[in-house]
Chains A and B, each alone.
Chain A
Amino acid sequence: MTHLSPQPFIRIRAARVFSLADLRELWNYRDVLLMLAVRDIKLRYKQTVLGVFWVVLQPLLAGLIFAVIFGRFIKLSSDGCPYLLFVFSALIGWQLFAGILQRAGGSLVNEARLISKVYFPRILVPMASAVAVLIDLAVSALIMVVLLMLYGMWPGWSLLWLPVAVGLALALAMGVSIWLAALNVRYRDFMHAMPFLIQVWMYASPVVYSNTVVPARWRPLFDLNPMVGVIDAFRHAWLGLGSMDLFAVASSATWAVVSLLGGWIYFRRVEQDLADRL
């Protein structure tokens, strides 16, 4: 016979508050995160023959199109570096961010059936979607390495910035995604606004252009966009161009912390009656 302590194992009440117990619970449910992520990854490669090719093709095609239009036709400045490398190094970061937003943003609505049938910390659903996008990142990074070799370039010590860049992008993407996931449950029409939002955001970030084209007096305002620091860090890490704009990075980090904390608190509130809303 199992011995049970007098302390309840689980206490269910009308209102729960933010506590460290939540984090411990999250850790206890880590297998759910893993299995959901594994499922997402497997499904992507099972359902389409093109699956694997698509992951390679998509960033490469996007990079090539940008290189032809912005690099060759419009001749945007690429800070003296081949434009394809210039745009692709940034595109890796952007696609990580946008991919998580797209997948995690609608994840709760997509898992409505599961959520109404069994309990687990709901935040694992958007988190698992984000993990699946990391596979794309790995593939893109490989392509980048191949491109660098083709151009006969090799990143220096600046490559040490890469983990920082990835970490920042992940934190920001998660912060924004948990807001989006929760908002998508509450407002179903939000889903239609998301592609537009992501598109606008990309052109507000220095993906296809260099941030040196932004006039100095607009820079502080420009740097308020958290993706400026992230994209900058990605480009600097791969190509070692110029020096890091630490103000932009600090802005990104601040945004990441603010959106993660705020998102977590908002998510906790919505999580309560998620099953009744879906």
Chain B
Amino acid sequence: MSDLAIRVSGLGKCYRLCHEARANRYQTLRDDIVRLPRRVWAKLRGAKYEEFWALHNVSFELELGEVVGVIGRNGAGKSTLLRILSRITPPTVGEVELFGRVGSLLEVGTGFHPELTGRENIFLSGAILGMRRPEIRRRFDEIVAFAEVEKFLDTPCKHYSSGMYMRLGFAVAAHLDAEILLVDEVLAVGDAEFQRKCLNKMGTVAKSGRTVLFVSHNLAAIEALCSHALLLNQGIIAAHGATLGVISAYRAMRPDGPIGEADVRSHPNRVPGSKPFFTHVRVFSDAPNSESISMGRGVTVEMTFAASEPFDNLQVGVTFNDLYGRRLVNFSPTHQAPQALRDAPRSGTMRCRIPWVNLLAGRYLLTVIASDDQGAIDRIDDCLDFEILPRDVFGTGRIPGPQHGVIYLESEWSVRSFDATRGTES
């Protein structure tokens, strides 16, 4: 068996970084006309953009039926690789050959429209993902059964619970008859039951002789599903081979490095009107040699900053938000230690350690805010995401999941019989 499914040779993707501080993200015709003289001048001087290679000289081959996990830290190039293989964005150099029909599953519910009914969305999403209509019709009952939405087929999807919505979205994609499947971290959303179901389905797909490229932070899932793994680090393949070996290479990699890191000097989520203050944000796990945060463990948020103007009585806040945009918790010295930042320099690094994170397992986003007596200085919403992994925090082998809320707290329970209660009352 040596039928080739994917051949990637010398693949590279280069992004141009623009250092001009631009208030708006979009190019406008007006701006282009105004800037024309300056651009001509820059060309004449031979000025160059700063280039950033998200992927660099990536080559690998996958055989038919191989199930390969792609791992690496945030910003290692995993998503870029997937986007190129899915033909969403073109490579700058290099070539990809795909021998077979490709199905890419980069989000749950691709093409879904909330106003349309479940039935209509199955056909819409199926077509967009690459299924022909007879094919969708043939697999329609299977999709509906998997998603468990029989009763709500003719209800607009906006009335669905988020669980139903995701089940239906995944069901359509999972029934795609593609020889090559590209799967992004879709399993990171949804409740435990949904994740289990998706993983089971992925296991069946993996065993059916299809070629699967699976990007995930969930090392346990990669280990369970994939025969081989690919480790990306700063756009380069750092390891490629049997899953266990690659995972240990990943664990050995930069053991004290951050779990998540974001360069926020020109971040799209910077709130308009901000005076850039933060330059980098990093998240570290308290546990040594760990690439993730587990429930109940400690975490440190490190912020590098360089103020453009002097400030008076600096205040800084770090908030954790969930994927629905809800603000869960805010950490700020304002309430706990009002004097902590009194002697803050104009530039430097500040750290905020949270010794006990009692959030439930899941994906969270981080917002940083700085202000002083004059008002807001800088704010970058959702500049970094990090994952908290499930851990047996109560020592019972039973772990609360997303259906139980957002946080967990210890509670004490007691019970008395009804008779005993009445006895003491009389």
Contact = CB atoms under 8 A, between A and B. Distances in A.
Interface of A: 1-2, 4-5, 8-16, 31-32, 34-36, 38-39, 42-43, 46-47, 114-120, 186-190, 272-273, 275-276
Contacts of A120: 128, 130
A114 B111 contact: yes
B28 A187 contact: yes
Given A4-B100, A10-B97, A119 B86 contact: yes
Contact of A14 (B30, B90, B100): B90
Interface string B85-105: 111111111111111111010
A11 B96 contact: yes
Interface stretch (B115-123, B141-149, B159-167, B360-368): B115-123
B131 to A, nearest CB: 8
A39 B124 contact: yes
Contact of A46 (B28, B85, B88, B115): B115
Interface residues of B, number: 53
B27 A12 contact: no
B240 interface: no
Contacts of B110: 114, 117-118
Q: Max chain B CB contacts within 10 Å: which of A35, A46, A186?
A: A35
B3 interface: yes
Contacts, number: 123
B346 to A, nearest CB: 35
Contacts of A14: 90-95
Given A10-B97, A11-B97, A14-B90, 16 more contacts: A2-B100, A2-B179, A4-B100, A10-B102, A11-B96, A12-B96, A14-B93, A15-B90, A16-B90, A42-B115, A42-B116, A114-B110, A119-B104, A186-B27, A187-B29, A276-B89
Contact of B95 (A2, A12, A43): A12
27 contacts: A4-B3, A8-B7, A8-B99, A10-B96, A10-B98, A12-B84, A13-B90, A13-B95, A14-B90, A14-B92, A14-B95, A31-B127, A32-B127, A35-B127, A38-B124, A39-B113, A39-B124, A43-B116, A47-B115, A118-B86, A118-B104, A118-B111, A118-B129, A186-B27, A187-B29, A188-B26, A189-B29
Given A35-B128, A114-B110, A188-B27, A10 B90 contact: no
A4 B209 CA distance: 13
Interface in B237-268: none
A10 B87 contact: yes
B88 A275 contact: yes
A190 B27 CA distance: 10
Contacts of B115: 42-43, 46-47
Contact of B91 (A1, A13, A31, A190): A13
B341 to A, nearest CB: 39
A2 B129 CA distance: 20
B29 to A, nearest CB: 4
Interface string B173-184: 000000100000
A1 B208 CA distance: 9
Contacts of A117: 88, 106-107, 110
A185 to B, nearest CB: 9
Contact of A11 (B3, B95, B130, B156): B95
